[in-house]
A and B are shown apart, each in its own frame.
Chain A
Amino acid sequence: MNETVSGPRHQPLQLHVPEPGVRPGDAPDFSEFEIPRAGAVRRPGIDEAPEDMRDMAFSVVRVLNKAGEAVGPWAGQLSADELRAGLRHMLTLRQFDERMLRAQRQGKTSFYVQNLGEEAVACAFRMALEDGDMNFPTYRQAGLLIAGGYPLTDMMNQIFSNGADPLKGRQLPVMYSARDHGFFTISGNLGTQFIQAVGWAMASAIARDTRIAAAWIGDGSTSENDFHAAMVFASSYQAPVILNIVNNQWAISTFQGMARGGAVTFAARGHGFGIPAIRVDGNDYLAVHAVARWAAERARAGLGPTLIEHVTYRAGAHSTSDDPSAYRSKEECDAWPLGDPIDRLKAHLVTIGEWSEERHSQALAEIADEVRGAQKAAEANGTLITGPHPSPRAMFDDVYAEMPAHLIRQRQEAGY
Chain B
Amino acid sequence: MARMTMIEAIRSAHDLAMERDERVVVFGEDVGYFGGVFRCTAGLQEKYGSSRCFDAPINESGIVGAGIGMAAYGLKPVVEIQFADYMYPAYDQIVSEAARIRHRSAGQFTCQMVIRMPTGGGIFGGQTHSQSPEALFTHVSGLKVVVPSNPQDAKGLLLAAIEDPDPVIFLEPKRLYNGPFDGHHDRPVVPWKNHPLGEVEDGPYTVPLGKAAIRRAGSALTVLAYGTMVHVAEAAAEDASVDAEVIDLRTLIPYDLETIAASVKKTGRCVIVHEATRTSGFGAELSALVQETCFYHLEAPVVRVTGWDTPYPHAQEWAYFPGPDRIRRAFKAVLEG
Q: Which A residues lie at the B interface, using CB under 8 A? A: 134, 136, 166-168, 170-171, 175, 177-179, 184-185, 187-189, 192, 195-207, 213, 225-226, 228-230, 232-233, 236, 398-402, 404-406
Given contacts A195-B62, A203-B73, A226-B65, contact A179 B257 (CB under 8 A): no
Q: Hey, which chain B residues are within 8 Å of A402, CB to CB?
A: 165
Q: Is B203 an interface residue (CB 8 A)?
A: no
B61 touches A400 (CB 8 A): no
From B106-114, B125-133, B236-244, give the one contacting chain A: B106-114
Q: Is A398 in contact with B67, judged by CB distance below 8 angstroms?
A: no
> Are B61 and A229 interface neighbours, CB within 8 A?
yes
**Extra inter-chain contacts (4) besides given A202-B69, A206-B51, A232-B57, CB under 8 Å:** A170-B104, A185-B108, A206-B25, A399-B142
Contact B96 A189 (CB under 8 A): yes
Complex interface bits, B125-159 against A, C-beta within 8 A gives 1, otherwise 0? 00000000000000001101000000000000000
CA of A226 to CA of B64 in the docked complex: distance in angstroms?
11
Is there contact, CB below 8 Å, between B89 and A195? no
Query: Interface readout for B34-77 with A: 1 if CB under 8 Å, 0 if not?
Result: 00000000000000000110001101011001111110111101
Assembly CA distance A207 to B253 (angstroms)? 32
| CB closest chain-A residue, reference B59 | A229
Contact present for B165 and A401 (CB under 8 Å): yes
Does any Cβ of A come within 8 Å of B97's Cβ?
Answer: yes
Contacts of A228 in B (CB 8 A): 59
Q: Please report the C-alpha to C-alpha distance between residue A178 and residue B107 in the assembled complex, in whole angstroms.
A: 11
Q: Is the CB of A203 within 8 A of B103?
A: no
Cα–Cα distance between A233 and B28 once the two chains are bound (Å) = 12
Name B64's closest neighbour in chain A (CB-CB). A195
* Smallest Cβ-Cβ distance to A177: which chain B residue: B105
Decide if B92 touches A233 in the complex (CB within 8 Å): no
A404 to B252, CA, bound (A): 12
Is B69's CB under 8 angstroms from A198's CB?
A: yes
Closest to B141 in A: A399
Q: Is B73 in contact with A192, judged by CB distance below 8 angstroms?
A: no
C-alpha gap A236/B50 in the complex (Å): 13
Given A213-B69, A398-B106, A400-B166, decide whether A230 and B100 contact each other with a Cβ distance below 8 A.
Answer: no
Would you list 20 pairs from A and B whose C-beta atoms are within 8 A, ordered by A residue? Answer: A134-B73, A166-B106, A168-B106, A177-B104, A177-B108, A187-B100, A189-B96, A196-B68, A198-B69, A199-B72, A201-B69, A206-B75, A228-B59, A229-B62, A229-B66, A232-B57, A233-B59, A400-B165, A401-B164, A404-B254
A124 to B144, CA, bound (A): 41
List residues of chain B with CB under 8 Å of any chain A CB: 23, 25, 51-52, 56-57, 59, 61-62, 65-70, 72-75, 77, 89, 92-93, 96-97, 100-110, 141-142, 144, 164-166, 210, 253-255, 257
Which 5 pairs between the two chains have the least Cβ-Cβ distance?
A199-B69, A199-B66, A229-B62, A195-B65, A203-B73
Question: Which chain A residues lie closer than 8 Å to B56 at the CB level?
Answer: 233
CB distance from A279 to the nearest CB of B (A): 25
Write the chain A residue with the least CB distance to B112.
A401
Is A205 a contact of B51 with CB atoms below 8 Å?
yes
Cβ A185 vs Cβ B101 within 8 A: yes
A406 and B61: CB pair below 8 A?
Answer: no
Q: Which residues of A contact B52 (CB under 8 A)?
A: 206
Once the chains are docked, how many angstroms separate the CA of A311 from the CA of B83?
41
Considering the complex, give the chain A residue whose CB is closest to the CB of B72: A200
Q: A187-B96, A196-B72, A196-B97 are in contact. Are A171 and B104 (CB under 8 A)?
A: yes
Q: Are B102 and A401 in contact, with the CB atoms below 8 A?
A: yes
**Contact status B109-A177, CB under 8 Å:** yes
Closest to A168 in B: B106
B residues within 8 A CB of A168? 106
B73 — which chain A residues lie within 8 A by C-beta?
134, 199-200, 203-204, 207
Q: Considering the chains assembled together, what is the distance between the CA atoms of A207 and B77 in angstroms? A: 13
Q: Are A179's CB and B109's CB within 8 A?
A: yes
Nearest to B23 among chain A residues (CB) is A207
Measured CB to CB, the nearest residue on chain A to B89 is A225
Chain B residues lying within 8 Å of A198, measured Cβ to Cβ, are 65-66, 69
Tell me, in angstroms, the Cα distance from A85 to B105 when the chains sit together. Answer: 29
Q: Cβ of B66 and Cβ of A400 under 8 Å apart?
A: no
Considering the chains assembled together, what is the distance between the CA atoms of A369 and B249 in angstroms?
Answer: 60
Inter-subunit contact A406/B254 (CB<8 Å): yes
**Docked CA distance A229–B62 (Å):** 5
B238 CB to closest chain A CB, in angstroms? 33
Cβ contact within 8 Å between B105 and A196: no
Chain A residues near B109 (CB-CB < 8 A) = 177, 179, 184-185
Whether A202 and B66, one on each chain, are in contact in the complex, defined by CB atoms closer than 8 angstroms, is yes
Shortest distance between the CB of A373 and any CB in chain B (Å): 25
Contacts A192-B96, A206-B25; A199 near B65 (Cβ below 8 A) = yes
B61, B100, B141: the one contacting A195 at CB < 8 Å is B61
Residue of A nearest to B79 (CB): A199
- With A and B bound together, what is the CA distance between A188 and B74 in angstroms? 23
Q: Determine whether the beta carbon of B108 is less than 8 Å from that of A199.
A: no
Q: Give the chain B neighbours of A187 by CB distance below 8 A.
A: 96-97, 100, 104
Q: Which residues of B contact A178 (CB under 8 A)?
A: 108
Please give the distance in Å from A121's CB to the nearest CB on chain B. 22
Please report the C-alpha to C-alpha distance between residue A41 and residue B73 in the assembled complex, in whole angstroms. Answer: 36
What residues of chain B lie closer than 8 Å to A184, measured between beta carbons? 72, 109
Whole-angstrom distance between the Cβ of B139 and the nearest chain A Cβ: 13
Taking CB atoms, residues of chain A closer than 8 Å to B164 are: 401
Report the bound CA distance from A401 to B107 in whole Å. Answer: 8
Q: Across the interface, do B66 and A195 meet the contact criterion of CB distance under 8 Å?
A: yes
Q: Are B106 and A199 in contact (CB under 8 A)?
A: no
Contact present for B257 and A405 (CB under 8 Å): yes
Whether A203 pairs with B62 at a CB distance below 8 angstroms is no
A229 to chain B minimum Cβ distance, whole angstroms, is: 3
A314 to chain B, nearest CB (A): 24
A226-B61 in contact given A184-B72, A398-B107, A401-B102 (Cβ < 8 Å): yes
- Within the complex, what minimum Cβ distance (angstroms) separates A360 from chain B? 37
Structural contact, B62 and A232, CB atoms closer than 8 A? yes
**Chain A, Cβ-Cβ closest to B74:** A203
Asked if B104 and A406 sit within 8 Å, CB to CB, the answer is no
Across the interface, do B97 and A189 meet the contact criterion of CB distance under 8 Å? yes
Cα–Cα distance between A179 and B72 once the two chains are bound (Å): 10
- CA of A104 to CA of B92 in the docked complex: distance in angstroms? 30
B65 touches A406 (CB 8 A): no
For residue A197, which residues in chain B have a CB less than 8 angstroms away from its CB?
69
CA A286 to CA B51, docked complex, whole Å: 37
